[in-house]
Amino acid sequence: MDHRKIFFGLVSGVTLCKLEDIDDGSAKELSYSAGDEIYNIFLQRKGDDVFAYNNACPHTGAPLNMELGQFMEKSGTYLMCHTHGALFQLDDGFCVAGPCNGASLEKFDIMIKSGNIIIV
Ligand code: FES
């Protein structure tokens, strides 16, 4: 069962989780509320780097993943939307292949400080 944590807004200085909470090559999914809406984001880890994106494909707005925490394609190079196979660069969310080619995922600025992943 998915017990994802819900934050009230995403404001600067909020600690989302610890780096050690995310296995290398996997992602942690979180949610936040803004007004009456709930938005889902994910934190994709690669080594000591983490990238945060809204979990909504620019093609249709569908979530990118089908399995919890699994956003990368097989080679581990690109994020992939499982609905129609769009591929996105990990570091900036730019779509390099698929129906939303040239569009980008919505990225969130984060930093890692003392092992904590924090909204900038
Ligand atoms: S919904 Fe993501 S590529 Fe179509």
What are the boundaries of each domain within the chain? 6-72+108-119
Strand partners, 8: 33
- The number of the ligand 1 atom at minimal distance from the alpha carbon of 64 is 2
- CATH architecture of the domain with range 6-72+108-119: 3-layer Sandwich (2.102)
What is the predicted pLDDT for the residue at 88? Answer: 98
State which residues of the chain have pLDDT below 50. none
Instruction: State the pTM of this model.
Output: 0.93
What is the predicted pLDDT for the residue at 3? Answer: 61
| Straight-line distance from the first to the last Cα atom of the chain, in angstroms, rounded to the nearest whole number | 30
| Beta carbon of 105 within 6 Å of any ligand 1 atom | no
Q: How far is the CA of 87 from the centre of ligand 1 (A)?
A: 9
Share of the chain above pLDDT 70, in %: 98
Q: How far is the CA of 73 from the centre of ligand 1 (A)?
A: 14
Ligand 1: residue of 53, 80, 82, 83 to mutate (most ligand atoms within 8 A of CB) is 83
What is the predicted pLDDT for the residue at 24? Answer: 96
Q: How far is the CA of 31 from the centre of ligand 1 (A)?
A: 20
Beta strands in the chain (DSSP E): 6-8, 15-18, 27-34, 37-46, 49-54, 78-80, 87-89, 95-97, 107-108, 110-113, 116-119
Query: Nearest CA to 83 among 41, 55, 107?
Result: 55
